[in-house]
Amino acid sequence: MKFTIYQESRTGKRANNEDRLAHCYSRDSLLMVIADGMGGHYYGEVAAQIAVQTLTQAFQREFQTRIRDPFMFLQKEMLNAHRGILDFAGKHHLLDSPRTTCVACIIQNNIAYWAHSGDSRLYLLRKGKVLAQTRDHSRVRLLLDKGTITVEEAATHPDRNKIYGCLGGQQNPEIEFSRKMTLEAADVLVLCTDGAWNELPDDVLAAALKTTNLSAAVPTLLSQAEGRSGPHADNLSMIAVRWEDTYVDRSSGSSSLISTKSMPRDTVATQMDEFGRKPGHKTELTEAEIELAIEEIRSTIQKYSK
């Protein structure tokens, strides 16, 4: 396999980033996953982390040359993540279970398979156009399909954040699968959370990602989206992969091109941001931390005043 890939997640103007994303690949398969922990529900970020971790860990376990049935894999692991989240809620006696969206994609043998739950999206771009995309499990999407509202109305609809398919929560998650999509060289697959796609029309996204330089295009897109969402920008995350011709042995000149041909059979490369808030960006002190800091200062004062 040959591809270039770039992923980035931003906090926006929120206090905390509840998006999680990762990709990993072995010699013959590539997995990408994004989860958007739902705000308003406690521990949204934990739910997102459980989802991403469950899928990447399963991939690392089952990568033995290639995954036998990618759709089966996606279904099984997304359900596992859902149960993992419920277990977490049970173990910590949470009144309500945390929830997260999830979109995941596997590419192997030049074929892409994806599944999603909620309103995190996947786009397949070919020649600067959107060839396929996921359909959000959201109220607004339903209304749009019924023709009750227009695209313009949807953008400002009060219920646009209401989604019905997600991992965690009381009901079994709605998981929707793609068809098998055979990839062509220069196809781009994009996974992103609503913070990113909300402000990026399909054509803008498709045009911007026509380039081979994803590590420049993705940050630019995210900055655009962040800028447009103003002072309350949501978390925004994006993974973009540009597929290159597997069977042509010709370097495209891009230094960031990954070729898995030379990888040993028994390894998996994983890129996942560390769990938890980045220490440098930690914003909130908990009650306990405040008490601890005061206690510490008081005891130092005591020590030195004698």
Partner 1 sequence: MVQQANHALPVAFQLDEYRIEHQLSLGGFSIVYVATDSQGTQVAIKEYLPNTLALRGEGGISPIITEEHLPAFRYGMKCFFEEGRALAGLSHPNVIRVLNFFRANDTVYMVMEYEHGCTLQELIQTNRPGVTENFIRNVFTKMLNGLREVHSHRLLHLDLKPSNIYMRNKHVPVLIDFGAARQTLACDTPMLKPMYTPGFASPEHYNQRELLGPWSDIYSVGASMYACIAASTPQPADARLDKDHLPPAMVRWEGLYSDQLLETIDWCLCLNHRYRPQSVFALQKALTEPVVAAPKMISEPDVEQPLLKENWFDQMVGKLKKSRNQ
Under the rule (CB under 8 A), what is the footprint of partner 1?
A: 15-16, 279-285, 290-291, 293-294, 296-298, 300-301, 304-305
- In 3D, which of 203, 178, 146 has the Cα closest to residue 154? 146
Nearer to partner 1, 68 or 232 (CB): 232
Nearer to partner 1, 184 or 296 (CB): 296
What minimum distance in Å lies between the beta carbon of 22 and partner 1? 25
**Cβ density class 68-84: b for 16+ within 10 Å, e for less:** eebbebbeebbbbbbeb
What minimum distance in Å lies between the beta carbon of 239 and partner 1? 25
Nearer to partner 1, 266 or 295 (CB): 295
Nearer to partner 1, 248 or 301 (CB): 301
What minimum distance in Å lies between the beta carbon of 284 and partner 1? 5
What minimum distance in Å lies between the beta carbon of 301 and partner 1? 5
Nearer to partner 1, 255 or 283 (CB): 283
Rounded CA-CA distance 244/258 in Å is 9
What minimum distance in Å lies between the beta carbon of 156 and partner 1? 21
Rounded CA-CA distance 29/64 in Å is 10
| Type of residue found at 155 | A
**Cβ density class 212-251: b for 16+ within 10 Å, e for less:** bebeebbeebbebbbeebeeebbbbbbbbbbbbebeeeee
